[in-house]
Amino acid sequence: MSVPHSQERPAPPPAAKPGDIERYHQAQKVTWVSVAVNVALTLVQIGVGLFAHAQSLVADGFHSLSDLLADVLVLMANYQSKHPADERHPYGHKRIETAASLALGLLLAGTGAAILWSAAVRLEHLQELPPISQLALWTAFATLLAKEGLFRYMLAVAQRLNSPMLVANAWHARSDAASSLVVAIGIGGSLAGYRFLDPVAAIVVGFMILRMGVHFSYHAIMELIDTGISAEEIGRISETLRSTDGVLGLHELRTRRMADKVLVDAHMQVDKRISVSEGHRIGETARLRTLATHPNVLDVLVHIDVEPDLDHADAELQLPPRPVLLKHLRDLIGTDVPPFERTLLHYLSGGLEADVFLPLAVNSDAPLITAIRNRLETHLPEDPYFRAVRIHAQVAPK
């Protein structure tokens, strides 16, 4: 028996998984740590910078303030993305993380551009820069150590949770550490008499921060336009699907990311004469095996095929609807035959086929069976629809 083209996709889960809840709490914790550090650094940098006449330290304080904005974005996105799938968002809310990653990338790019602009202005007005107090240098070094420590802590958590959004926020902290290094070099150079070192170093690091922002923005945009995963990852998923019992072939395997998860679409070929329910079982088995074997796969949409998708699909659509075909089949076999028990139609590349199951009473009517076979042998070679018709007689129950 043949399995018509069908699609199987279970309803989304009603509640978040325990792993997702733990991931949410871990992400919230690391982000709140970042908020606390940046609040303290912002107040210290701006206060000491104003007191010590260190304009670069004041600017770095406002850079820390931009980190606070980034942390707020992360907290909001992480809170929203933890919600499970619902009627309006059947695939969940994880794309909020992607949108936040894009915002963070743009924020990094803007911060880098601002540093470049500020450094260029300082280069043009070196003689107008006020003398800097020694306190500013020690504050810059303390800020650098705090930011580098925050970066390493945040990056470790982000990699453990496999969260692009948290990775982007960690690198944002590193960009602030880099700017603090620039401030330390600039203040040290200014104290030693080399007043140009601060703006020159700021230009170099500003470009690095700008490049980093473009990098994160680019990857977020690639995810938003449904760019597929790597060939290696696709190969592993493909092997899992192909190795499922009953799967004869696999084609049109497509993937797309959703934050740290992957959505998979696949066309799987099964035997053309099995039942619809068996085809569904094979597809569901393949889906569950993939979810169990690949934890990063959020869901698999399986499309069951009886043959590879070939050009004959258009020809199948041009055939008459089932009621018309059944009436034609009835005329072909003969109106003197009792009503069929059931009829299976097989839409195959070689043409339309049918399995006709006759009622039990026909078994004892040998002349009628012979007449049916003769009619089919006579008319099938020139029939406009059917290339083969198989007659099945019912078996008497025990």
CATH of domain 314-393: 3.30.300
| Tokens of residue 254, six digits | 């497509």
CB 353, CB 387: distance < 8 Å: yes
- Residue 34: CB partners within 8 Å, gap ≥ 6? 67, 71, 150, 154, 169, 173
On whether the CB atoms of residues 344 and 354 are closer than 8 A, the answer is yes
User: What pLDDT is recorded for position 241?
Assistant: 94
Based on the number of CB atoms within 10 Å of its own CB, is 184 exposed (0-12), middle (13-18) or buried (19 or more)? buried
Q: Supply the pLDDT for residue 131.
A: 74
pLDDT of residue 206: 75
* pLDDT value at residue 325: 92
CA pair distance 280, 153, nearest whole angstrom:
47
pLDDT at 124: 81
The domain ranges of the chain are 18-224, 229-305, 314-393
How high is the pLDDT of residue 78?
62
Listed in sequence order, the residues at least 6 apart from 257 whose beta carbon sits closer than 8 Å to its beta carbon are: 98, 223, 226, 227, 229, 263
pLDDT value of position 391: 86
Cα angle 48, 50, 54 (rounded to 5 degrees) comes to: 85
* Res 291: pLDDT: 92
Residue identified by tokens 């993305």 is 81
Output the pLDDT for position 23: 67
Picking from 325, 345, 337, 344, the residue whose alpha carbon sits closest to that of residue 370 is 337
Nearest to 165 by CA among 110, 228, 97: 97
Rg from Cα positions in the chain: 34
Q: Widest CA span of the chain, in angstroms?
A: 116
Name residue 264's beta-bridge partners.
255, 300
Sheet order of strands, 351-358 included: 342-348, 351-358, 386-393
pLDDT along the chain (398 residues), means of 10: 40 49 72 82 84 73 70 66 69 73 83 81 75 84 87 85 76 75 81 75 74 83 82 91 92 84 90 87 93 89 81 62 91 86 85 86 77 89 90 67
Cite the DSSP H helix spans in the chain.
Answer: 18-52, 55-81, 95-124, 134-161, 164-192, 197-224, 231-242, 276-293, 313-317, 322-333, 366-379
Residues 28, 19: Cα–Cα separation, whole Å: 14
Q: What is the pLDDT of residue 92?
A: 67
Q: Tell me, what amino acid is at 97? A: E
Q: Which residues pair with 343 in a beta bridge?
A: 356
pLDDT at 292: 92
pLDDT score of 1: 35
Instruction: Give yes or no for a contact between 84 and 12, defined as CB atoms under 8 angstroms apart.
Output: yes
d(CA 242, CA 235): 10
| CATH architecture of residue range(s) 229-305 | 2-Layer Sandwich (3.30)
CATH architecture for segment(s) 18-224 = Up-down Bundle (1.20)
